[in-house]
């Protein structure tokens, strides 16, 4: 086994904060497998690069022989995490959460190692709590302690509503740490307060109290906000190679350094060398972004697919061509087609309103010709290639 110092350096290469300071190294020096907790609420259908960053950190612990305890928040997902929210989060029902969990778990497990992995659902302990248990839990924290949380404080000052159930969320998440006796809990920087509540509650239950480690939030493809499925600025780990390559090529230049470190998994020395080259002009931004896109696609799909994805990108963007493989969709037996519905119902855009916006912007083309109307004659679409935005192509065929 590696020395505690080597383990610490390997684990924390992408970590922003560990608290209490020095405690993670001290526990590694104990020479025993640590129980490392990561909680994931299944509230969305996809696994993004933003999530993958945290799974990568969890995998590092596994590689060193520590136990990864993945908490599937099937109970807390129905409550809704208020972290970084300016309004009350819409609650999901149990069926929605289960459907998301069934989709996400196989993908998440592929990102982790099969060994040293424990998967638990927090409904195991939260779902069986009595009213007495709930009241006992709430008695361990004061309203003042809860209002220390920055997003709650901002909403309070702005006279925005905060529901009682939102106050409960961090306490329920903290119970997860008590239930599985976590040594370490990891998460994004937006989860720091929640993770510290977990440590606090463990100590109130007579446990040692977990070490907290947070990792920076990956900026989305817009280069401004954190990667989020609700914002649409994300890349999925399941995106096909060409689509993944194209999305990475669309990110703004200033965020490349962060993406090299978090999304591509390069070490800090390599990232620093790239950022220095970009600053002093010895590296060309376009060539560097191609390296980033190739590295990321290779990480998920292999070197052959990375090479193929780059060739497909060049064919579409440099040579103004069409991808070799274009998915086909059926046209309804009607003389006309309502294009926003056709695109949205086939998953080519997120919604009909997005389709209408793209049509208005001239970003939808049939065989290279801009479409300006929402109702399109079927014979104009039948057997033709439709381009939606820069990277999406489809062929529609009437049955």
| pLDDT tens figures, 312-354 | 888 876 655 566 667 888 888 888 889 898 888 888 887 888 8
Interval 86-97 mean pLDDT: 68
Q: How many CB atoms lie within 10 A of CB 356?
A: 17
The hierarchical CATH code for the domain 241-318 is: 1.10.240.10
Give SS3 for 112.
Answer: coil
> Who's near 141: CB < 8 A, 6+ residues apart?
171, 197, 200, 201
**Pairing status of strand 369-370 against strand 364-366:** antiparallel
Distance from C-alpha of 141 to C-alpha of 149, rounded to nearest angstrom: 13
The terminus-to-terminus CA distance of the chain in angstroms comes to: 62
CATH of 4-215, one of 3.40.50.1100, 1.10.3720.10, 1.20.1530.20, 3.40.50.620: 3.40.50.620
Q: Pick from 364, 371, 374: which is nearest to 339 by CA?
A: 374
Q: Pick from 5, 53, 45: which is nearest to 29 by CA?
A: 5
Q: Would you state the structure tokens that stand for residue 346, as one six-digit string?
A: 């086939």
**CATH 3.40.50.410 assigned to 328-398:** no
Q: Would you state the structure tokens that stand for residue 158, as one six-digit string?
A: 């702005």
Domain ranges in the chain with CATH number 1.10.240.10: 241-318
Q: Would you state the structure tokens that stand for residue 134, as one six-digit string?
A: 């709930």
Domain ranges in the chain with CATH number 3.40.50.620: 4-215
> Who's near 53: CB < 8 A, 6+ residues apart?
14, 215, 218, 262, 263
pLDDT at 173 over 50: yes
| pLDDT tens figures, 110-150 | 999 999 999 999 999 999 999 999 898 888 887 777 777 77
Interval 213-233 mean pLDDT: 92
pLDDT at 90: 63
- Out of 193-207, 349-363, 382-396, the most confident range is 193-207
Give SS3 for 187.
Answer: strand
């Amino acid at each position: 086994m590696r020395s505690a110092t080597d383990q610490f350096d390997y684990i924390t290469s992408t970590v922003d904060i560990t608290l209490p300071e020095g405690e993670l190294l001290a526990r590694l020096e104990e020479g025993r497998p640590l129980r490392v907790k990561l909680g994931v609420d299944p509230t969305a259908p996809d696994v993004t690069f933003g999530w993958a960053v945290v799974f990568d950190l969890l995998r590092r612990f596994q590689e060193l022989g520590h136990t990864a305890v993945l908490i599937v928040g099937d109970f807390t997902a129905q409550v809704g995490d208020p972290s970084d929210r300016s309004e009350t989060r819409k609650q999901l029902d149990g069926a929605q959460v289960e459907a998301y969990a069934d989709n996400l778990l196989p993908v998440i497990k592929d990102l982790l190692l099969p060994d040293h992995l424990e998967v638990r659902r927090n409904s195991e302990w939260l779902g069986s709590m009595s009213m007495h248990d709930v009241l006992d839990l709430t008695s361990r924290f004061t309203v003042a302690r809860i209002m220390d949380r920055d997003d709650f404080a901002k909403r309070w000052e702005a006279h925005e509503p905060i529901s009682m159930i939102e106050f409960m969320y961090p306490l329920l998440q903290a119970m997860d740490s008590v239930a599985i006796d976590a040594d370490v809990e990891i998460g994004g920087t937006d989860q720091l307060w929640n993770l510290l509540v977990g440590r606090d509650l463990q100590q109130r239950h007579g446990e040692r109290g977990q070490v907290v480690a947070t990792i920076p939030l990956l900026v989305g493809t817009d280069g401004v906000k954190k990667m989020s499925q609700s914002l649409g600025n994300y890349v999925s780990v399941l995106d096909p190679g060409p689509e993944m390559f194209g999305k990475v090529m669309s990110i703004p230049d200033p965020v490349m350094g962060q993406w090299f470190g978090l999304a591509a998994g390069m070490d800090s020395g390599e990232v620093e060398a790239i950022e220095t080259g970009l600053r002093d002009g010895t590296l060309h931004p376009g060539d560097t972004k191609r390296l980033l896109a190739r590295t990321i696609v290779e990480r998920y799909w292999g070197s052959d697919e990375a090479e193929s994805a780059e060739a497909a990108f060049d064919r579409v963007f440099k040579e103004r061509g069409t991808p070799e493989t274009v998915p086909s969709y059926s046209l309804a037996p009607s003389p006309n087609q309502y294009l926003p519905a056709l695109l949205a119902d086939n998953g080519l855009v997120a919604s009909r309103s997005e389709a209408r916006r793209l049509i208005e912007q001239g970003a939808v083309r049939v065989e290279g010709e801009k479409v300006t109307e929402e109702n399109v004659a079927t014979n104009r679409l039948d057997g033709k290639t439709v381009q939606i935005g820069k990277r999406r192509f489809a062929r529609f065929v009437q049955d």
